[in-house]
Amino acid sequence: MTKQFMAANWKMFKTRQEAEETTRELLSLTATKLPGDREVLLIPPFTSIAAVVETIGSRTGFSVGAQNFYPAESGAYTGEISPGMLLDLGCSFALVGHSERRHLFHEGDDFLARKVSFGLEKGLKIILCIGETLNQRKEGLLETTLSRQLTSALSGISNLDIASRLSLAYEPVWAIGTGEVAGTEDIGEAHNFVRSELKNIFSRGAEEIPILYGGSVKPGNISEIIPLDNVDGVLVGGASLQAEGFSRIVLG
């Protein structure tokens, strides 16, 4: 059974109490209704991870991830958090390469490649986010951009056991937080291209790597996105903040 991953990226929103309340509400709205082929991934700010893990408890179909980490075991890196610290909190996965990390915090290809391989080696599942800007798309650089982001971030990973903990998220930068969702044709085209690039990078196992779509996903467009070929779930920002709306996405 192929799983669909329904991920909620809460970015820098929600105090611990708010995160707990949203999680509790989401658990109750999806109780007994969550299909066996759906996995809900909650990605709160660092400060709420422990509370969300505790609120979920032993409920199946839910896991918790982090929005970021630093690729070192420990050391003098003021303000940073290691993969080991996240695993210790009950976090099982983390995002790498989200467009806000790339653009606001200037994380470049080499640094992102280090994060992907270090995070995987230390036992985290990794969701690598890629996507083109509007200018890159207008200049016909969609495939060049995605290909560069994929090969640079994944070139250091050959061990298939490690690769089996990898997911991708295709998020066109111009669709993130703008209300502008990519058309189903654009999404289908990009996801097919990502799949073919994954097959070039990994000699086997590329078919099993989930590819999520992100960028203005809402309850109103989820039913068009999920059935598309090579779409294995969604990464949702704004529309994941309210439990009621996100539950409609999760169950949609």
Residue ranges binding ligand PGA (CB under 6 A): 9, 171, 176-177, 214-217, 235-239
**Cβ neighbours for 170, distance < 8 A, ≥ 6 positions apart:** 130, 131, 146, 187, 190, 191, 194, 211, 212, 213, 214
Contact call for residues 47 and 78 (beta carbons, < 8 A): no
Secondary structure class of 93 (helix, strand, coil): strand
- For residue 5, give both structure tokens: 């991953």
Backbone Cα Rg of the chain? 17
191 included as an active-site residue: no
Which entry of 39, 98, 100, 197 is annotated as an active-site residue?
Answer: 98
The position carrying tokens 């920002």 is 237
Residue 129 CB, nearest distance to ligand PGA (Å)?
A: 7
Residue 243 CB, nearest distance to ligand PGA (Å)?
A: 15
How far apart CA 150 and CA 64 sit, in angstroms, is: 24
Comparing CB distances to ligand PGA, the nearer of 65 and 71 is: 65
Comparing CB distances to ligand PGA, the nearer of 205 and 252 is: 252
Comparing CB distances to ligand PGA, the nearer of 89 and 130 is: 130
How far apart CA 235 and CA 47 sit, in angstroms, is: 20
Residue 60 CB, nearest distance to ligand PGA (Å)?
A: 24
Residue 99 CB, nearest distance to ligand PGA (Å)?
A: 7
Comparing CB distances to ligand PGA, the nearer of 188 and 219 is: 219
171 included as an active-site residue: yes
Question: DSSP labels for 42-73?
Answer: EE--HHHHHHHHHHHTT-TTEEEEES---SSS
Comparing CB distances to ligand PGA, the nearer of 155 and 178 is: 178
Contact call for residues 176 and 216 (beta carbons, < 8 A): yes
Residue 190 CB, nearest distance to ligand PGA (Å)?
A: 15
Element (DSSP H or E) covering residue 199:
helix 184-201
Which entry of 100, 171, 191, 197 is annotated as an active-site residue?
Answer: 171
Whose CB is nearest to ligand PGA? Answer: 237
The residues assigned a catalytic role are 98, 171
